[in-house]
Amino acid sequence: MTRTAVLLLAMLTALPVAAQIYSWKDKDGKTHYSDIPPPSGPVKTIRGTPVPAPVAPPVDEQEEGKAAGEQPAADDGKPKTLAEREEEFRKRRAAEAEAQAKAQQEQEREAERQRFCEDARNQLAALNSGQRMARMNAAGEREFISDEARSADISRLQRQIDENCSN
């Protein structure tokens, strides 16, 4: 009973080995063997079922595609090579990374703008409060802000808020 089960298991695991193998000659006369048939030309099936010949779409369908403004495929129905698929994948990945980086830069710019607006509004509120305010001068000494300097700062901050802070 155990031997029968082991034999059955061995036979089932051997099924994937029964894949098709194709043989063909290229334009230089070199013989190639592969489990994937070539895109065109005569193919000899060494193991497995024969490959049907590729069928081209009727001429009127090709004309309809051109009339509808579609670009004809550059590969003319041939399957893309691994290198072509890899290049397309890399281009898509680079475009996605670029879009993500652009979105992140836009978010950082928006966050910086929000911080600036909040700081400007806080400074404007402090200036409008009427309390005495002081600044450090070039010598590092503390000097109080005059009424003229206060009004100039208020108008400058209000102008910056109006220009940069829409909400």
What does pLDDT average to over the chain? 79
pLDDT at 122 exceeding the cut of 90: yes
pLDDT at 1 exceeding the cut of 50: yes
Q: Which three-class secondary structure state does DSSP give residue 32?
A: strand
Q: 44-92 pLDDT, tens per residue?
A: 777 655 545 555 555 554 444 454 454 544 556 678 888 899 999 999 9
Q: 82-108 pLDDT, tens per residue?
A: 889 999 999 999 999 999 999 999 999
Note the pTM of the prediction, 2 decimals: 0.43
Where b means 16+ CB within 10 Å and e means fewer, 14-30 reads eeeeeeeebbbeeeeee
